[in-house]
Amino acid sequence: MSPAGRFWDFSLSVYGKPGVEAACLDLQDRFGADVNLALYCLWIGRPLTAEALELALETAAPLRQYIDPLREMRRSLPKDAGVRDAVRKAELAAEKLEQDALEALGEAGMPNVETAVVNLRLYAERLGVDVEGFLAASKSLIDTVKFQQTSSSPRTRGPSSS
155 pLDDT above the threshold of 90: no
34-45 mean pLDDT = 97
Residue 81, CB-side half-sphere exposure with 13 Å CA sphere: 12
Q: Indicate the length of the chain as a whole number.
A: 162
For 87, other C-beta atoms within 10 Å of its C-beta total 19
What are 42-99's pLDDT values in tens digits?
Answer: 999 999 999 999 999 999 999 999 999 999 999 999 988 889 999 999 999 999 999 9
The full set of domain ranges for the chain reads 6-150
Q: Which amino acid is at 36?
A: N
Are 45 and 109 in contact by the 8 Å Cβ rule? The answer is: yes
- Three-state DSSP string of the chain: CCCCCHHHHHHHHHHCCCCHHHHHHHHHHHHCCCHHHHHHHHHCCCCCCHHHHHHHHHHHHHHHHHHHHHHHHHHHCCCCCHHHHHHHHHHHHHHHHHHHHHHCCCCCCCCCHHHHHHHHHHHHHHHCCCHHHHHHHCHHHHHHHHHHHHHCCCCCCCCCCC
Res 158: pLDDT: 40
The band of 107, judged by pLDDT with boundaries at 50, 70 and 90, is: confident
Return the ∠ at Cα 91 (arms to 89 and 94), rounded to 5°.
Answer: 110
CA end-to-end span of the chain: 39
pLDDT over 60 at 160, yes or no:
no
| pLDDT tens profile 18-28 | 999 999 999 99
Q: Whole-prediction pTM value? A: 0.87
Q: How far is CA 130 from CA 13, 122, 123, 125, 127, in A?
A: 27, 11, 11, 8, 9
Residue 159 pLDDT class (50, 70, 90 cuts) = very low
